[in-house]
């Protein structure tokens, strides 16, 4: 336990104090942990390599294809079209709810950073057009982006946790959806009612130019393409309940329901609907795909590093000892996973690192305590969103775009993230009563 505590503190110091790249920090800490835990010197590097390969083997396709799809949704103007349709449909009175819905729909295929940069100009255009408080209007949409990032596959952290805990991607998505909706409502529009008086004059620098209307794809194409991965995952999740017994049909559906195949199908469809059909050349689309992979390269390395750390804990046997020791706290495993992820999140700032590190620590507990792996994915995902502050890039992104003081950023952004985290845990515990 002391070795693991030392390694976690070392990881925190390397990332937050020494400003070491998270991948390098994971690599150094994994090797150090292996040596201190008694793994033979000649087997430490093998354990590190195996851990990286095991976690990336199940994730590389999903994350890369998801990034390509998100980039295409953004570059084609589909995200802009989705937002415009929703805002026009409800008018000024319910414009905040329209932006929340747009953020949620767009947040499913888009990575958080891309979604944030893409949607903030829309928020500002609404703020200037209707002369509304920027934080009051904008925070709910940002909340929806954050929730999808923390709870819903195919985003990197929940997807990685699904693999680590051998959970079911479609079931996790459905449970995540059940938790995400109340979390967005309470931490978004409801909480934002208390933020109307926060002064905010968004910087003109961040007002991006919108695409002309005649260059945008249709509303149907935009919605259908952005939501196709969701539709396919939900279809495969409900298929077993249709009572179909044909062996061939079951095998075909199992193949089509694999998350990698789901993302591949969605990307192929999007390449046509948002690319070729819109008059874009394959060379232009290829550039978008290349840029998308560049955007997530560091995320992939961080995930690989966390896999190495987990493998070292597993091979040394210490993960089993940790699980046994933690049981002495008499804390429900789902709550324990949330607490560990929250502590690491507050210490390190990165939701992805927090989630994956916590997963490595409690992975044995999931099996030994017979915990529902889908709910553990969501519990750790909720914990990994707790109290974002000055060591989180998202904190500064929100502060600078909305031109807020640090105090007001804490009152708005940090509180919103904490509410999402606590509501997420409550949702997990409620679902656990019925499954």
**Least confident span in 111-120, 145-154, 406-415:** 111-120
Strand intervals (E) in 85-199: none
Percent over 70 (pLDDT), the chain: 92
Select, from the ranges 125-134, 140-149, 207-216, 363-372, the one with the highest average predicted confidence (pLDDT).
140-149
User: Quick one: pLDDT at residue 206?
Assistant: 47
User: Quick one: pLDDT at residue 291?
Assistant: 87
Q: Which of 159, 152, 158 is nearest to 178 (CA)?
A: 152
Q: Has residue 154 got a pLDDT over 50?
A: yes
**Least confident span in 277-286, 388-397, 403-412:** 388-397
The token pair that represents 96 in the structure block: 């905040």
Q: Has residue 261 got a pLDDT over 50?
A: yes
pLDDT greater at residue 340 or residue 321: 340
Helices assigned H by DSSP within 186-275: 191-192, 219-238, 247-256, 259-270
User: Quick one: pLDDT at residue 414?
Assistant: 93
| pLDDT class of 180 with cuts at 50, 70, 90 | very high
Say if residues 158 and 151 touch (Cβ distance below 8 Å). Answer: yes
**Segment holding 155, helix H or strand E:** none
Average pLDDT over residues 261-283: 93
Q: Which of 317, 281, 435 is nearest to 373 (CA)?
A: 435
The token pair that represents 68 in the structure block: 């390509």
| pLDDT class of 434 with cuts at 50, 70, 90 | very high
pLDDT greater at residue 1 or residue 392: 392
Helix, strand, coil in percent for the chain, rounding step 5:
80, 0, 20
**Least confident span in 168-172, 177-181, 239-243, 246-250:** 239-243
Mean pLDDT of the chain: 85
Select, from the ranges 72-76, 152-156, 271-275, 306-310, the one with the highest average predicted confidence (pLDDT).
271-275
User: Quick one: pLDDT at residue 194?
Assistant: 95
User: Quick one: pLDDT at residue 350?
Assistant: 73
Task: Write out pLDDT tens, residues 285-329.
Answer: 999 899 888 878 887 888 788 888 878 877 887 766 665 666 667
3-class SS of residue 350? coil
Average pLDDT over residues 418-428: 97
Task: Write out pLDDT tens, residues 185-235.
Answer: 999 999 999 999 998 877 554 454 577 888 889 989 988 988 888 788 778
How many residues in the chain? 435
Q: What angle do CA 323, 180, 382 make, to 5 degrees?
A: 30
State the sign of the Cα–Cα–Cα–Cα dihedral 370, 356, 259, 241: positive
Average pLDDT over residues 173-186: 95
Instruction: Give the CA-trace dihedral at 47, 51, 54, 57, to 10 degrees.
Output: -120
User: Quick one: pLDDT at residue 391?
Assistant: 67
pLDDT greater at residue 433 or residue 214: 433
Average pLDDT over residues 159-177: 90
pLDDT greater at residue 405 or residue 181: 181
d(CA 328, CA 322): 10
Q: Has residue 250 got a pLDDT over 70?
A: yes
| pLDDT class of 413 with cuts at 50, 70, 90 | very high
The secondary structure of residue 205, as a DSSP letter, is G
Compute CA distances 109 → 132, 155, 170, 282, whole Å: 28, 8, 15, 21
């Amino acid at each position: 336990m002391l070795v693991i505590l030392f390694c976690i503190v070392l990881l925190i110091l390397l990332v937050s104090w020494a400003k070491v790249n998270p991948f390098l920090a994971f690599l150094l800490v994994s090797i150090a942990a292996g040596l201190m835990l008694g793994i033979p010197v000649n087997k430490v590097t093998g354990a590190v390599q195996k851990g990286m390969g095991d976690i990336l083997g199940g994730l590389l396709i999903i994350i890369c294809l998801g990034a390509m799809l998100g980039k295409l949704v953004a570059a084609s103007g589909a995200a802009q079209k989705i937002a415009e349709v929703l805002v026009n449909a409800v008018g000024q009175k319910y414009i905040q709810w329209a932006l929340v819905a747009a953020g949620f729909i767009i947040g499913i295929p888009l990575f958080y950073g891309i979604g944030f940069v893409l949607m903030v100009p829309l928020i500002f255009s609404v703020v200037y057009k209707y002369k509304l408080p920027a934080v009051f209007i904008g925070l709910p949409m940002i909340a929806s982006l954050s929730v999808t990032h923390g709870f819903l596959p195919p985003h990197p952290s929940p997807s990685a946790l699904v693999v680590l805990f051998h959970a079911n991607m479609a079931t996790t998505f459905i449970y995540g959806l059940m938790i995400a909706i109340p979390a967005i409502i309470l931490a978004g529009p409801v909480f934002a009612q208390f933020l109307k008086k926060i002064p905010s004059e968004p910087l003109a620098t961040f007002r991006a130019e919108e695409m002309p209307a005649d260059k945008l794809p249709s509303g149907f194409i935009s919605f259908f393409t952005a939501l196709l991965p969701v539709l396919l995952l939900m279809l495969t999740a409900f298929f077993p309940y249709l009572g179909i017994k044909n062996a061939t049909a079951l095998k075909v559906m199992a193949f089509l329901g694999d998350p990698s195949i789901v993302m591949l199908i969605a990307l192929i469809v999007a390449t046509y609907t948002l690319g070729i059909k819109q008059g874009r050349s394959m060379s232009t689309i290829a550039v978008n795909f290349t840029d998308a992979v560049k955007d997530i390269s560091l995320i992939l390395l961080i995930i690989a590093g966390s896999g190495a750390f987990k493998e070292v804990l597993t091979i040394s046997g210490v993960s089993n000892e940790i699980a046994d020791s933690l049981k002495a706290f008499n804390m429900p495993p789902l709550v324990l996973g949330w607490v560990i992820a929250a502590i690491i999140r507050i210490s390190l700032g990165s939701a992805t690192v927090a989630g994956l590190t916590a997963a490595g620590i409690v992975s044995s507990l999931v099996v030994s305590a017979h915990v529902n792996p889908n709910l553990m994915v969501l519990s750790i995902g909720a914990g990994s969103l707790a109290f974002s502050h000055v060591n989180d890039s998202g904190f500064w992104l929100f502060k600078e775009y909305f031109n807020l003081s640090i105090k007001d950023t804490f009152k708005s952004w940090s509180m919103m993230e904490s509410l999402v985290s606590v509501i997420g845990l409550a949702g997990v515990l409620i679902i656990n009563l019925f499954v």
